[in-house]
Amino acid sequence: MSAPGGSQVRKMRLSSFVRKVLLEVPSPTEQDWPQDDEKDFAFKDSEQELESLPQPYRMINKMVNLLFDQAWEVIMKRDALREAEHSRVQPTIYLPLVESKLNKMPNCMAVSQDYVFIGGAKGFSIYNLYDAKRLYIWEKLKVDVTSIWAADLGSEILIAPVDETGIARLFYFCKDGLFLIKAINEVDDISKQTTCLKTEISHGGDFAAFLLQGAGDIWLDVYRLPKESWLKEVEHPQLAIDPKKKVRQLQLNTPDSVTSDNLEMDINICFRGDIKLSLPVHIMRIKPPKPVTGTTFKSPLEVFAKIEDCSGLGSGQNHFIKDTQWEQQEAIFKALFKKYLDGECGEEQLSMATFHFLLPGRVTTMPADVKSPSGVACVLGIHWTGNHNFFLYSLNRTLKDKAGFPLGVVALPKGCSCQSVHFLKYYLVHQGQNVYPEGPLKSHMKCVVLCTDSSVHLVTARGTQEPTVSVLVERPVKYLDEAICAVAPVPALPGMVLTFSRNGSVQLMDVAKPQIICAFAPPRTYHLAVPWTPMFVVSLHRPCFLLRGDHPDEIESDDAKDIQNSIFCFNLEAYPLLENICNLCTVPQADMTDSMAFAQVLPLEKRCESFLQERFQKLEKKVKEQEHWTRLRRYSLLLQRETSRK
């Protein structure tokens, strides 16, 4: 923006260098010329000299130029991002093979065997995994189901839904019907009601743990599940019939909005309320560790005599440090870090727990004389927020006095705080492909750790070797929308995990390389409504996972009845890039005898047996060679004798 000027001004469009000092006529000789100094010149705009604007137009001109400069910077950044995006190698994107349309908003889902369990209003529904047809429904609650878990018990399934009030229930689902086992934390006095925050069921359904909160306290209740008794009671119902209850057939009310071409199929369910199954057995209650205070022991011998009920690194409660020493150290600490402590909130929150049922050899080494059933959890690992310890509790009575020790202690890189831990089934790289070796493995563990800064790490521990930590995904710096918010292992594919990003992308990563194999996405008309907390579930035994997708137009609709939510099924073995991986997941031990990596993961007795067999075979081969040479030598001597006689 500038004022109109004369014709002479219009011709002067170039800037000029104007000398700050007076001009003089130079001397004839070049040596006498003064040396030019850049400071003696100033860069001036000829237009500004002749066309200076009055206020407020001069300020308006500056604001307009500033807006143009900022807009140009945004354009350049977007152009650079677009060029970088085109130069990046994009993975192959696969679409789902099956879509299940629901007439109600799903709150949660779980998968086990060939069934999908979806929690929603007043209960949960059971669907077929492959054709998306609804098979059973249980709606007897006055509130919604907000979370649900399912565990495979063989031919039966254990279901654990939790409703909005925090009450957890256990159901036994089999071909004969649906059985309610127990409401874990339901009480008659509502003032004493506790809330279930999280549930975990061990692999195989032998144990279950419930994180409960109530009356300003939090704790973990662990139960042993009598699944063998349940099987007998279902096969012989006359032994467990409750005469006060009768069999009820729950008739489903089909809404008018559901058409015949819908994928859902409503049928009757046989809810066996007349049969009372055996209740779970409570085996332990675990509370967060208390703050470390001054010692109550009178001598060091009492400290060593005290044994905690957990294995691994202790909680620090058993020590011989006095109160005065604690107070001195606390005063020194507060004096050193006063500027960091002043801004902290004084309110103390309840500690939350992350817990895992661990199979033999996952974290601890098992004693040689202890025989644990294959596939049965033996250790419960717990991590409480605000605590640096990972506590290990034995689930096996024979291990109470013979607890194993941790494979190792690792520290994440500086600035990384653990958000979630995901244990992987131990795999090996055989002929360039990840495979599961047949047979039991001990003292070997791999887990994927998702940190709060969205970085992902792989932790590996092998027996007496030092644990290693490798970075799978760096903390995003340039592309913040690609920050990973969830990670899920795919047990059917060795060494594979699913990563969910904030931009809604879902990718399959090979942690052994590491690299992205492919990506998955719902149809274009759908997207993830809340990408940072995606609703998904991965099958433990099938190479597939389920993902909830929402239609943009339906999300903005005010009428909940008109919303058609969809659950998409991604069958991994149907995609070309994953077909060979799915078919070659397990390799027999006989095919890996020459593999050094496989020999290192075998149990000690197996390694000794293999070593002795190898030595015996070499010795036998050597003996046969010696016998062969002895025979040849005897034959040669006989020939020499016969020749000398002739």
State the average pLDDT over residues 600-611.
Answer: 64
* Amino acid identity at 330: E
pLDDT at 5: 47
Would you say residue 261 has pLDDT above 80? no
Distance CA 319, CA 294 (A): 8
Would you say residue 29 has pLDDT above 80? no
State the average pLDDT over residues 553-577.
Answer: 72
Letter string b/e over residues 522-560, b meaning 16 or more CB atoms within 10 A of that residue's CB? beeebebbebeebbbbbbbebbbbbbbbbbeebeeeeee
Instruction: Name, of 205-214, 400-409, 515-524, 628-637, the range with top average pLDDT.
Output: 205-214
Q: How much of the chain exceeds pLDDT 90, in percent?
A: 24
State the average pLDDT over residues 78-103.
Answer: 83
Pair 380, 223: CB distance under 8 Å: no
Query: How would you write 477-543 as a 3-class SS string?
Result: CCCHHHCEEEEEECCCCCCEEEEEECCCCEEEEECCCCEEEEEECCCCCCECCCCCCCCEEECCCCC
Give SS3 for 345: coil
CA torsion through residues 521, 524, 530, 535, sign: negative
- Which tens digit of pLDDT belongs to each residue from 344-395? 555 556 778 889 898 876 666 555 555 666 678 888 888 888 777 778 888 8
pLDDT at 464: 67
pLDDT at 486: 93
Distance CA 271, CA 172 (A): 10
Query: Could you tell me the pLDDT band of residue 327, with boundaries at 50, 70 and 90?
Result: confident
Please state the separation of Cα 23 from the chain's center in Å: 77
Would you say residue 493 has pLDDT above 60? yes
- Which tens digit of pLDDT belongs to each residue from 210-248? 999 998 899 999 999 999 999 888 888 765 565 555 444
Cα–Cα nearest to 186, from 219, 158, 210: 210
Biggest CA pair distance of the chain: 137
Would you say residue 197 has pLDDT above 90? yes
Cα–Cα nearest to 589, from 578, 577, 580, 597: 597
Distance CA 646, CA 115 (A): 90
Q: What are the beta bridge partners of residue 357?
A: 380
Pair 399, 365: CB distance under 8 Å: no
Query: Could you tell me the pLDDT band of residue 207, with boundaries at 50, 70 and 90?
Result: very high
Would you say residue 146 has pLDDT above 90? yes
- Which tens digit of pLDDT belongs to each residue from 510-537? 999 889 999 998 887 777 767 788 899 9
Pair 324, 296: CB distance under 8 Å: no
State the average pLDDT over residues 144-170.
Answer: 93
Query: Could you tell me the pLDDT band of residue 4, with boundaries at 50, 70 and 90?
Result: very low
pLDDT at 201: 94
Would you say residue 613 has pLDDT above 80? no
CB neighbours (10 Å) of residue 520? 21
User: Where is pLDDT greater, at 342 or 9?
Assistant: 342
State the average pLDDT over residues 122-129.
Answer: 90
Could you please report the per-residue DSSP string of 439-475?
S---SEEEEEEEETTS-EEEEEEETTSPPEEEEEEPP
User: Where is pLDDT greater, at 446 or 374?
Assistant: 446
Backbone angles phi, psi at 82, to 5 degrees: -65, -40
**Which range among 110-119, 272-281, 397-406 shows the weakest confidence by mean pLDDT?**
397-406
Would you say residue 570 has pLDDT above 70? yes
User: Where is pLDDT greater, at 458 or 259?
Assistant: 458
State the average pLDDT over residues 39-46.
Answer: 54
Distance CA 164, CA 147 (A): 9
Distance CA 165, CA 195 (A): 7
Instruction: Name, of 263-267, 351-355, 397-401, the range with top average pLDDT.
Output: 351-355
* Amino acid identity at 543: P
pTM (2 decimals)?
0.71
Would you say residue 591 has pLDDT above 70? no
CB neighbours (10 Å) of residue 411? 9
Average model confidence (pLDDT) across the chain: 77
**Strands across the sheet with 269-271, in order?**
145-152, 157-163, 169-174, 177-183, 269-271, 248-250
Would you say residue 97 has pLDDT above 70? yes
State the average pLDDT over residues 10-23.
Answer: 47
DSSP-assigned letter for residue 241? B
pLDDT at 11: 42
Would you say residue 262 has pLDDT above 60? no
Distance CA 514, CA 512 (A): 5
The alpha helices in 315-402, defined as continuous H runs, are: 323-336, 338-341
Distance CA 614, CA 591 (A): 15
**Which range among 77-86, 103-112, 303-312 shows the weakest confidence by mean pLDDT?**
303-312
Distance CA 301, CA 495 (A): 47
- Beta 565-571 vs 391-394: how paired, if at all? unpaired
DSSP-assigned letter for residue 371? -
pLDDT at 642: 77
Pair 99, 132: CB distance under 8 Å: yes
Would you say residue 143 has pLDDT above 80? yes
User: Where is pLDDT greater, at 176 or 266?
Assistant: 176
Could you please report the per-residue DSSP string of 579-641?
HHHHHS-EE-GGGGTT-HHHHHHS-HHHHHHHHHHHHHHHHHHHHHHHHHHHHHHHHHHHHHH
Query: Could you tell me the pLDDT band of residue 484, with boundaries at 50, 70 and 90?
Result: very high
pLDDT at 111: 93
pLDDT at 636: 79
pLDDT at 75: 93
Distance CA 275, CA 246 (A): 9
- Beta 586-587 vs 433-437: how paired, if at all? parallel
Q: How much of the chain exceeds pLDDT 70, in percent?
A: 72
Cα–Cα nearest to 462, from 616, 585, 598, 277: 598
pLDDT at 160: 95
Query: Could you tell me the pLDDT band of residue 310, with boundaries at 50, 70 and 90?
Result: low
CA torsion through residues 487, 490, 493, 498, sign: negative
Element spanning 353, H or E: strand 353-358
User: Where is pLDDT greater, at 285 or 585?
Assistant: 285
State the average pLDDT over residues 131-147.
Answer: 89
